[in-house]
Chain A
């Protein structure tokens, strides 16, 4: 990760207005930095506790096949990849403020190096503002590039969808689906990966 995106995650002010750096018009397109905020009608502590246990996140993250805890700070993440090529990396929690913030960074040698911060800010009667900022380094190698497509085709869209699934689960107890039945749900997932494979071959 470049120094500038690290600064951005650390919250260093690069501008003179109150907008987040992820909304900057000056952000270099080569840098893959995305930020997204969602308000969830639940207490910050409850949301933090859910997020602090990485195994919980599989249910809301579309592209992640498995998250296995290694110890209190480290976990192994496996991406769902087309053609059954599993790609994994180790994620390390580098800093945490209980009930407020979690920072993470991928360990050395990750196929797709990433780092980020998620914060939980009390929003009174509306619940909690959950804000995620995620940075990906441009990966190398064929598999790396394929996985990058999974993450980076529209990284902001991806993190927004993940946060909305998180909101749905915490507010309603379920992740919303419009599928008519299991088969349709599976078909819609397959369709998404088929599109990615087509793009890879193109």
Chain B
């Protein structure tokens, strides 16, 4: 089959690799019809995430048609399914508490050591996202092996709902939603959202649905800020305005009640701490660029809430722990427990309460995946979301 494979920094290729097979009773093989490039794939593209190996198949946002099932799968051949990027067994202690991204069993025993060293306990397996999260082949391919297929995939019963409407159930929509949920929004709140990439834009929509009175969106790409405005957000362009000063003034000196960091470990911008972080990362003295979360902690009101769906991988310094403690902030974060949100969010899409297709700027055949990565990486203003369609023929 054809698949998008990782070979190093800024080197992804479309190659022919061995087809996947059923290996365990609960497995299914899915033929991919749509698969997106995620902002977090760019962290792999920029080689910020350790434990990638040359030839690894990328992709954790995908959907398709069930091609083959193991004897213990509950899926049937021919069903259309959306597959969560988190792999979860459904039977361990964490899954029973709906903490699906903390699944104890989906990260294979011999792939857990790095995560245990780095995080204390290994996280769940993820599709196409390094060996630290299991070493699974991803879904930017013609076919994928889906373990625990009786737990993860959501069957889309209605053929009239096209892929583009439900594809983002795999990751970014539930991630934006959980980001807003973790901000514990109360009616009347002012919520600030750092980063208007796909997750940030879904967090803006979700925050309003959860009762926020005002949402203030922060980015530097004009097109992305326009999309946030379309959903009713007020905007701050950090290249034109000082974010902290703007937020203080816009909230009458109080600060946002809740803040959502949708930026993460590759923050943009010529801020002093960000430049120092970049030097540290390039010389292996640090791993993450963390300007946004520092600014979030400074700007959030006393006693406020911070939610951090943004991805961080390793260590940062100059974390404003004093401000965090003195103001009595609450921080909630984590990889998304996708399976928990699939059904309610599918219903919200089907009922037209959440718009998802506005995000897709480009659709390409799988062969053009490497270009898709480069363009999504280099032209973030125009390329808001790239969806690869293995069924499309290359131009």
A180 and B21 contact, CB distance less than 8 A: yes
CB distance from B232 to the nearest CB of A (A): 42
A41 and B93 contact, CB distance less than 8 A: yes
Q: Does A78 contact B (CB under 8 A)?
A: no
B24 and A41 contact, CB distance less than 8 A: no
Give residues 122-138 of B contacting A (CB, 8 Å): 125, 134-137
- When distances are taken between beta carbons in the complex, the residues of chain A under 8 Å from B89 are 168, 171-172, 176
A172 and B96 contact, CB distance less than 8 A: no
Over the window 23-65 of chain A, the binary record of Cβ atoms lying under 8 Å from chain B Cβ atoms (1 yes, 0 no) is 0000000000000000101000000000000000000001000
A118 to B135, CA, bound (A): 30
Are A176 and B106 CB-contacts (below 8 A) given A126-B93, A171-B92, A181-B23?
A: yes
CB distance from B93 to the nearest CB of A (A): 6
B18 and A172 contact, CB distance less than 8 A: no
Give residues 102-149 of B contacting A (CB, 8 Å): 104-113, 125, 134-137, 145, 147-148
Query: Contact residue range for chain B?
Result: 35 or more
B25 touches which of A62, A173, A179, A183 (Cβ 8 Å): A173
A174 to B24, CA, bound (A): 7
A172 to B26, CA, bound (A): 9
Over the window 224-266 of chain B, the binary record of Cβ atoms lying under 8 Å from chain A Cβ atoms (1 yes, 0 no) is 0000000000000000000000000000000000000000000
A176 and B109 contact, CB distance less than 8 A: yes
B105 and A172 contact, CB distance less than 8 A: yes
A165 touches which of B17, B25, B106, B109 (Cβ 8 Å): B109
B72 touches which of A126, A173, A181, A183 (Cβ 8 Å): A173
CB distance from B210 to the nearest CB of A (A): 31
B105 touches which of A126, A160, A176, A192 (Cβ 8 Å): A176
* Max count, chain B CB within 10 A of own CB: residue among A127, A177, A183: A177
CB distance from A193 to the nearest CB of B (A): 13
Over the window 65-91 of chain B, the binary record of Cβ atoms lying under 8 Å from chain A Cβ atoms (1 yes, 0 no) is 000000010000000000000000111
Interface of A is mostly: helix
B104 and A127 contact, CB distance less than 8 A: no
A178 touches which of B17, B93, B104, B125 (Cβ 8 Å): B125
A161 to B109, CA, bound (A): 5
* Max count, chain A CB within 10 A of own CB: residue among B21, B26, B57, B107: B21
Over the window 3-43 of chain B, the binary record of Cβ atoms lying under 8 Å from chain A Cβ atoms (1 yes, 0 no) is 00000000000000111110111100000000000000000
A177 and B23 contact, CB distance less than 8 A: yes
B26 and A174 contact, CB distance less than 8 A: yes
A165 to B21, CA, bound (A): 21
A180 and B57 contact, CB distance less than 8 A: yes
Are A183 and B18 CB-contacts (below 8 A) given A41-B91, A172-B105, A178-B135?
A: yes
- When distances are taken between beta carbons in the complex, the residues of chain A under 8 Å from B107 are 176
A184 and B18 contact, CB distance less than 8 A: yes
A176 and B125 contact, CB distance less than 8 A: yes
A172 and B148 contact, CB distance less than 8 A: yes
Nearest A residue to B133, CB-CB: A178
Nearest B residue to A171, CB-CB: B91
- When distances are taken between beta carbons in the complex, the residues of chain B under 8 Å from A39 are 93
A157 and B113 contact, CB distance less than 8 A: yes
* Max count, chain B CB within 10 A of own CB: residue among A62, A171, A192: A171
CB distance from B101 to the nearest CB of A (A): 15
A185 touches which of B23, B57, B90 (Cβ 8 Å): B23
B104 and A167 contact, CB distance less than 8 A: yes
CB distance from B190 to the nearest CB of A (A): 40
A1 to B212, CA, bound (A): 66
Give residues 339-393 of B contacting A (CB, 8 Å): none
A37 to B92, CA, bound (A): 16
Nearest B residue to A163, CB-CB: B109
Nearest A residue to B134, CB-CB: A178
B23 and A179 contact, CB distance less than 8 A: yes
CB distance from A18 to the nearest CB of B (A): 20
- When distances are taken between beta carbons in the complex, the residues of chain B under 8 Å from A188 are 110
A174 and B93 contact, CB distance less than 8 A: no
Residues on A facing B (Cβ under 8 Å): 39, 41, 62, 126-127, 157, 160-162, 164-165, 167-168, 171-185, 188, 192
Jot down 5 A-B pairs with beta carbons below 8 A, ordered by A.
A167-B92, A176-B106, A177-B147, A178-B111, A185-B23
Residues on B facing A (Cβ under 8 Å): 17-21, 23-26, 57, 72, 89-93, 96, 104-113, 125, 134-137, 145, 147-148
